[in-house]
Chain A
């Protein structure tokens, strides 16, 4: 068995016992990345030299000073998370040459734990998309079927972990961007409670919805990584001040007495029957272990997608206005005046999907339309929160499919934006309500992974991870896809 195939928690022990060096491990993962990436296309930037240097440094430290359990373990980073001195493109021509002069909060955590950064991972441009086909640089392929998309927008993060070209990775989730690719690629993806992981240094898509989270091949790895990155940050005014447990240490697969809510709205029309069946079968297994199934209803779900696209696009139209060719990134070659420079820079620098979202956001905020769109969407969002709160009076976690179907083919939805948007139907409510949710592989349909989503109350990550862990114990930890 190659080193890249091991899980982070296994590697942590192997490194601690000096059975393996971080340098060997890092070289194995980089080798895997280089060998597979022409097929997978997970990486925008591979940081080979820096990674090996860092690994050597950690190897030297080992034994001399106490190290974090994740020290020396290779991690891939979504390319919208600012990495000091390392290209951070958001998969956009707009930032094709942008090197941040500072680290994101999570990168400070990753660096302080001495993790080894393998590189920056592909994504939909500015995290807008559900297939990673909207990257300016390349398309990412699903390791389980190269003809299929890996999901999006954290497609590179999911595909790299699935392919073994990273042991774990960081993604970001605005409407499902961690959970959906995790589901499509058959890995574990956690979207944490809004405010539990600092957004400082995450290039904003929709500030009120964005959250950074871990992707891994097993629940324990995800829990370890989440424990590392969560916590209060005074630089993020939406960051919550509270104590967090060591999620990995408290991990158990105990579901006895756990009330699992099944919302009918997530199993209706538009959700693939075989996906529904696979998800419900997994839930039944938990019932066998003593969990209790409760039927619940979340009626505002039918408006969630609309509210989500209004709110996220409104915020995006404002957040992406700073990309104007003045301070960083792309600037058009020739222009006649300031307005010409702005318009050409932005038209050449952004891809079509980003332009559509900016225009939608501009539209819903513009004079005369604000009340009918943005304000209404906010009110729907409040209703969604209220319904979740009511539901959590009846159950501890809510189980739904993470996606309405398994991974689709590359190019299949590209011409039809609304069809592409529909792929987010199961995941957006969680961001709207600021809740945590985990996507857990629970089986396959026609050889493609199916994700089971557990949604919890705010800061109930431990319960979610425990429940996911119960599923994992049924099926065993995931190994890198064969390529």
Chain B
């Protein structure tokens, strides 16, 4: 029998507000343990929460960006459970009335678009961190992360493969980055997900028993976890076994999952309305105002790049998936005003710029390079004033802090020689001292051409227009 995999995802994203959700402690990652804390986020007796207005705004923006209905009148609820990283022994969250619900995002997979439903988006607080150390007879608790604002984005069970899940996660991540509400740093845990997987015979309309997986720490881990779990369920069903609704824990290193909780010992969170906070009300005008702040989102951007700028789907996607690239590309297009083809700019952005960002891990915005400098380089090349090689030299000089392009060209002698008589002189000189290669070529060894052009370029200190050089060398050889 053939089976179909059903995937639903619960994504938690930490918001990049200045302060925590319920107190004015700094919202920052990686600082010394228990230094970003106060009586409120450590759950001292008598303390009370106050809701950060930016958290509400950011969540509403995410709602808009994912086509949700915004519940502008809502509330918060307590989710009760005991754990040392949860100082109040309840998490302030939202239960029956989330801030946003009934939305969707469109994902692209192999050139096909698919719509994934968003059930709800709600706001809540993060828990602290437990530090385990084998050398020590206990667990240490760091409360710095307590009260860091989170949005939980719950999808409909609309995905049918791990690849779709990955595409969905990538889409959410780029939306979060586009609207600038989360750093989305996987390695810092600022975006995490729980995975729900079930399988059913192909053609069936009923859902199978759903298994929730915790501890999925990366998008690629999510794919592995989904594939593993779907296979596990399919194999079990094929053996005639039953699937149980349960929570399993994914171990990415071993590539397996184990039962964490069965349905019977499911937690009873005893949700009830948070009495320390009253009604959240966002005036309709404010909701609309926030909608206007949503920039062009990745999907729309990709479509525009392909349709209006003539980029390939692949290039458009590659640019759109990375916000610094998008910013640089869009600015270049704006500045160049059709003087340079978008394709050439795209080649630079996806070529040297991306290479630099990947190799150094730095964002281009942290360097002196900006759109107008990059456009200038591209234009100089297009106008044959400098060679492509010289363009790369200038690019590196700019990154190193030297932003005066004219000065670089002058000092490094990068101005391209396209003047026929000047190049002819160089060619004649080179051929005169390389008669052996000339004979080789004429004797059928055509690769001597490359050598001779190279020598000409060398003699011109790279300034000669290589095409012109080649043209003249060839002309002479064929005489």
Contact = CB atoms under 8 A, between A and B. Distances in A.
B268 A326 contact: no
A370 B46 contact: no
Interface stretch (A221-229, A232-240, A298-306, A404-412): A232-240
B43 A322 contact: yes
Interface string B118-151: 0000000000000000000000010000000000
A234 B45 contact: no
Interface string B32-66: 00000001001111111111000000000000000
A321 B277 CA distance: 18
Interface residues of B, number: 28
Given A318-B80, A327-B43, A208 B275 contact: yes
A342 B44 contact: no
Interface string B273-310: 00111100000000000000000000000000000000
Contact of A322 (B51, B89, B272, B277): B89
Contacts of B51: 237
Interface in B79-95: 80, 82, 84, 87-90
B80 A98 contact: no
Contact of B275 (A102, A201, A315): A315
B48 A102 contact: no
A435 B34 CA distance: 41
B313 to A, nearest CB: 49
A167 interface: no
A contact patch SS: loop
Contacts of B46: 80-82, 100, 104, 199-204
Interface string B82-111: 101001111000000000000000000000
Nearest to A368: B268
B270 interface: yes
A165 B82 CA distance: 41
Point out which of B42, B46, B89, B268 has the most chain A C-beta atoms below 10 A from its C-beta.
B46
Interface string A349-373: 0000000000000100111001000
A326 B48 contact: no
A375 to B, nearest CB: 9
B325 interface: no
Given A234-B50, A322-B88, A324-B89, A98 B45 contact: yes
A314 interface: yes
Interface string B67-80: 00000000000101
A237 B278 contact: yes
Point out which of B47, B49, B80, B88 has the most chain A C-beta atoms below 10 A from its C-beta.
B47
A95 interface: yes
A1 interface: no
B58 to A, nearest CB: 19
B82 A366 contact: no
A79 to B, nearest CB: 11
A101 interface: yes
A309 interface: no
A324 B49 contact: no
Contacts of B87: 322, 326-327
Interface in A192-243: 199-204, 206-208, 234-238
B45 A199 contact: no
7 contacts: A104-B46, A200-B46, A238-B275, A317-B80, A318-B270, A326-B141, A327-B44
Given A199-B48, A207-B275, A326-B87, 5 more contacts: A100-B44, A206-B275, A317-B270, A321-B82, A322-B87
Interface of A: 80-82, 88, 90, 95, 98, 100-102, 104, 199-204, 206-208, 234-238, 314-315, 317-318, 321-324, 326-328, 338, 342, 362, 365-367, 370, 374
